[in-house]
Amino acid sequence: MEEIKLTFENGSARSFPKGIPLRELAVKIEKENHFPIAGKVNNRLVDLSSPLHDDAQVSFIHLNSREGLDILRHSTSHVMAQAVQDLYRGAKITIGPSIEDGFYYDFDCDKSFSPEDLEKIEARMREIIAQDLPFDRMEVSREEAMSIYQEKNEPYKVELLRELPDEKISLYRQGNFLDLCRGPHLPSTRSITAFKLTGIAGAYWRGDERNRMLQRIYGTAFPDQKLLDDYLRRIEEAKKRDHRKLGRELDLFSFHEEVGAGLVIYHPKGAMIRMILEQYEIKEHLKRGYQVVRGPEILKSELWKRSGHWDNYRENMYFTEVEGQHYGLKPMNCLSHMLIYKSQVRSYRDLPLRYFELGTVHRHEKSGVLHGLFRVREFTQDDAHILCTPEQLFDEITGVINFVKDVMKIFGFEYSLELSTRPAHSTIGSDEDWERATGALRKVLEENNLPYDINEGEGAFYGPKIDVKLKDVLGREWQCATIQCDFALPERFDLTYVGSDGERHRPVMLHRVILGAIERFLGILIEHYAGAFPLWLAPVQAVIVTITDRDLEYGESVYQQLSDVGIRAEKDMRNENLRLKIREAQLQKVPYMLVVGDKERENHGVSPRHRSGKDLKMMNIQDFIALVTKECEEVFH
C-alpha cells in the first residue's frame, strides 16, 4: 500500500496509508478526551472527513481554540438557519458568518421576528442538534450549484454564486438543509452543546442602503455551559455599562436627528471630560518632544488625489465645492503635516520632527454601522506624524510603544499588540518599501521582546502598522492606538532632507495615535469605569450638600474655596431631604459629597462622604483639598 509522510506540530513525522481520512488519523494519535473537531493541512483548515493523499504538515483544531470557536459558531449559524426555514416557510437565506463572540445569519422573511420567535428557533435548534446530523461537504460545479439554488428559490445564494471565481463550489448539508459554504464545519450537530440566540436587528443586503432590508439574528456558542453562562453575565453587565445609556443618565452627550446621524453634541460634563483628556494629551506630547500643529478641515481634491486617498479612500470621504474649486473634508490629518514639513529645507540634524494635532476629521460611515460614540461621522484624533531618517525608525517606533505603555497604565488597561500587514488590493508604494516598513515594525517588536499576533492583510493602504488592542474591565478588546510605517507618502509628496553627505534623502513617516478617536476612547472609558470616573478625570469631583438654609452662605464659601484651587465642584443647596440629595449625587457618580451643616460651619470644615458610601471624618477645607490633590497626583506616579 502506498504511504505518505505526515509532519505534526511537535516536529515529529510518521508514515500513513495514502488516502487516510483526517478523522482516522486523529483516532490514532489524539487523546480520547481531547478529540479534535477539524484539522489543518499545510496551514489550510479542513474537515475531519478530508482524506490525505500527499505528504503534508498536519495539525488538529480543538473546540477551546480560537479557530475551534469560529468553527463551532459558524456551524451553529447553519443549524439556526435550518431551524428558521423549518419554522417559517418561504424564509430566504443569505449569509451567516461567525463574528467576534458569536455569529449571525441574515434572512429575508415576511414574518417580523420577535423575542418570542427566538425561543421557538432555539427549541427547534435543540431538536436538530439532538438528531446528531453530520455536516457533509459536497463539491459541485458552479452551474450545478446555481441550478440547485434557483430550484430552491434562493436568489441571494444565486447572486453570490454569480460572483464567485471558483469553478468548483463547496456546499454543506445537515439533514434537509443545504448551504453554500467554504467550511470547515463540526463533524456533526452533536458537538453543539451550549448556545444562545441573543438579538434581532435590521441589516441591508451586502450593507448597501439601496438594497432590501433583511432581518439579522445574532447568537453565540461556547464549548460548555459554564463558558456560555459567564459570557451572558458579562453581556448583562455590559448592558448596564452601555455608554449610550450612561451618557444620558450622567448628562454627558446627546445625538439629535435634526442635527444628523453620527454627530455628537457634548453637554457640560462630557465636554469637561473631553477637555481633561485633551489637556493631559497635550502635556504628555510636549514632554516627549512633539510640536503642536493644526491644519484646515478642507483641502483641495488635487491633494487627495496626489496622496492616494482619492483612489483608495474616496468612498469614506465628504466633498464640497467652493467657487468652482473641488475640496475634500479631511478624513485624516497627514497631508497638512507633510506640507508643514515641506515648507522649508530640512537637514538630518533637524530630524526627527514630531508633529501633533488634536485634529477633527470626518468620515462617511453608513448609517447602519453608526453606534453611539464608538462609530461616528465626525471625531477628533490625537494624531501625530513623525518624520525621521530610516536609521531613526527603531528608536521612534520604540518611543511610541513606550508612550502607549505609559498611557494605558494611567487608565488601568491591559493591552496586546498586532502587526497588520499589506492588504491584498488598493495599496500605494513599492514592494520594497512595504518590506522595509514591515521589517522595521517587526524588528522593534522582536528586539524589545514584545509578544504580538499577525493580522494578515489589515494594514493601511499606504503602509503596515502595529495595532494596540486594549482590554477593558469586562475582558473586551478595543483597537485604539496604532503605529503606521509609511515610505510611500513621503515619496508622493517629494519630502526630503539634506544628509551629512550634503545630498538629498527621503525621510520615513510614522502615522500614530495613542488614544485614537477621542469620542471612541471616551465611550470605552464610560463603559470601563461604569461612569464612575477616577477622581482626576471626573467632570465633577465634589458636590457641596447643605443640610438647612442656615448653611447656604457657608456652602457658597466652601464652593468658592474649592473652585479657586481648581477642584471641579458643584453645589446642591435645594431645600430637600439630605438623604435624597446624597442619593442623587451617588447616582451621578460624583466621587465626593461634602456635607455642610451647623457643625461643619462652626468648625470651618466639611464632612466628606465617598460615592462608595464610606463616610470620612470631618476635616477642614485645606485638608480636603490636600486629599483630592494627593489622590489625583498618585495616578501619575
Q: What whole-number distance in Å separates Cα of residue 244 and Cα of residue 105?
A: 26
pLDDT (tens digit per residue) in 70-114: 999 999 999 999 999 999 999 999 999 999 889 999 999 999 999
All three cell numbers of 54, joined, read 500527499
Strand (E) or helix (H) holding 249:
helix 243-249
Of 27-31, 502-506, 589-593, the range with the lowest mean pLDDT is 27-31
- Mean pLDDT computed over every residue of the chain: 93
Residue 165 has pLDDT above 90, yes or no: no
DSSP per position, 170-232? EEEEETTEEEE------SBGGG--EEEEEEEEEEEGGG-TTS-EEEEEEEEEESSHHHHHHHH
Segments making up each domain of the chain, as ranges:
3-61, 68-225, 284-529, 542-634
Q: Are 620 and 605 in contact (CB under 8 A)?
A: yes
Beta-strand pair 605-610/3-7: unpaired
Specify the pLDDT at position 337.
96
Q: What whole-number distance in Å separates Cα of residue 359 and Cα of residue 199?
A: 36
CATH superfamily of 3-61: Beta-grasp domain (3.10.20.30)
Per-residue pLDDT averaged across 145-162, rounded? 94
Residue 462 has pLDDT above 90, yes or no: no
Per-residue pLDDT averaged across 45-58, rounded? 91
pLDDT (tens digit per residue) in 569-590: 999 999 999 999 999 999 999 9
Catalytic residues: 334, 363, 381, 383, 385, 465, 511
pLDDT (tens digit per residue) in 8-19: 888 888 889 999
What is the Rg, in whole angstroms, of the alpha carbon atoms belonging to the chain? Answer: 30
More confident call, 459 vs 337: 337
pLDDT (tens digit per residue) in 360-394: 999 999 887 889 999 999 999 999 999 999 999 99
Q: In degrees to the nearest 10, what's the CA dihedral of 47, 50, 52, 54?
A: -80
Burial 20-40 (b: 16+ CB within 10 A, else e): bebbebbeeeeeeeebbbbbb
Fold of 284-529: BirA Bifunctional Protein; domain 2 (3.30.930)
Residue 55 has pLDDT above 70, yes or no: yes
Q: Are 109 and 91 in contact (CB under 8 A)?
A: yes
Residue 30 has pLDDT above 80, yes or no: no
Q: What whole-number distance in Å separates Cα of residue 372 and Cα of residue 350?
A: 42
Per-residue pLDDT averaged across 133-139, rounded? 95
Angle at 496 between CA 494 and CA 499, to 5 degrees: 155
Question: Which DSSP letter does residue 134 get?
Answer: B
Pinpoint the alpha helices (H) of 501-577.
Answer: 518-529, 552-564
Per-residue pLDDT averaged across 138-162, rounded? 94
Task: List beta partners, residue 58.
Answer: 41
Per-residue pLDDT averaged across 40-51, rounded? 92
DSSP per position, 206-218? GG-TTS-EEEEEE
Specify the pLDDT at position 166.
80
Fold of 542-634: Rossmann fold (3.40.50)
Per-residue pLDDT averaged across 596-623, rounded? 94
Specify the pLDDT at position 594.
97
Q: What whole-number distance in Å separates Cα of residue 466 and Cα of residue 415?
A: 12
List the one residue out of 25, 20, 29 whose CA is nearest residue 2.
20
pLDDT (tens digit per residue) in 484-518: 999 889 999 999 999 999 999 999 999 999 999 99
Per-residue pLDDT averaged across 356-360, rounded? 96
Pinpoint the alpha helices (H) of 517-620.
Answer: 518-529, 552-564, 578-587, 598-602
pTM equals: 0.81
pLDDT (tens digit per residue) in 262-280: 999 999 999 999 999 999 9
Question: What strands, in cross-sheet order, belong to the sheet with 318-322?
Answer: 298-300, 325-329, 318-322
pLDDT (tens digit per residue) in 521-535: 999 999 999 999 999
More confident call, 426 vs 468: 468
Q: What whole-number distance in Å separates Cα of residue 40 and Cα of residue 88?
A: 37
Per-residue confidence at 160, pLDDT binned at 50, 70, 90?
Answer: very high
Specify the pLDDT at position 208.
78
Specify the pLDDT at position 231.
93
Per-residue confidence at 31, pLDDT binned at 50, 70, 90?
Answer: low
Per-residue pLDDT averaged across 292-315, rounded? 93
Residue 387: alpha-carbon gap to chain centroid:
27
Specify the pLDDT at position 33.
54
- Is the bond leading into 184 cis (omega within 30 degrees of zero)? yes
Write the class of the CATH domain 68-225: alpha beta
The secondary structure of the chain in percent helix, strand, coil, rounded to multiples of 5, reads 40, 30, 30
Which residues does 204 contact at the CB level (< 8 Å), separation at least 6?
210, 211, 212, 213, 214, 368
Specify the pLDDT at position 32.
53
Q: Are 471 and 416 in contact (CB under 8 A)?
A: yes
Per-residue pLDDT averaged across 329-346, rounded? 95
Per-residue pLDDT averaged across 430-444, rounded? 91
Which residues does 337 contact at the CB level (< 8 Å), separation at least 6?
293, 295, 355, 357, 385
